């Protein structure tokens, strides 16, 4: 039948593949461009709307961090 080494290898491989993270979602390039333009030349509101369009929710820590960066770059709106 199977020897212990084969079982160990199979078990490790199952654990390894189960623990892999999925690929990050691809973001529409046009929407990402909108967010970049809003960061560079837009208002805080436009930037926040662009973040929402690319799928970053208001509750996300990433959203808060990006808005903080916007404010540091542009001054608070």
Q: What is the pLDDT of residue 65?
A: 92
Q: Where are the domains of the chain?
A: 25-77
Q: pLDDT tens digits for 35-55?
A: 888 888 899 999 999 999 888
* Cα angle 56, 22, 35; round to 5: 25
Compute how many other C-beta atoms are within 10 angstroms of the C-beta atom of residue 71. 13
Q: What is the pLDDT of residue 16?
A: 57
Tell if the pTM clears 0.85, that is, is over it. Answer: no
- Of residues 74, 73, 62, the one with CA closest to residue 24: 62
């Amino acid at each position: 039948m199977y020897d212990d080494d084969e079982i160990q290898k199979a078990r490790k491989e199952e654990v390894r593949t189960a623990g892999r993270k999925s690929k990050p979602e691809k973001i529409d390039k046009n929407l990402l461009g909108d967010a970049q333009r809003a960061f560079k030349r837009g208002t805080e509101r436009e930037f926040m709307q662009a973040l929402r369009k690319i799928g970053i929710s208001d509750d996300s820590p990433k959203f808060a961090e990006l808005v903080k960066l916007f404010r540091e770059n542009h001054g608070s709106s």
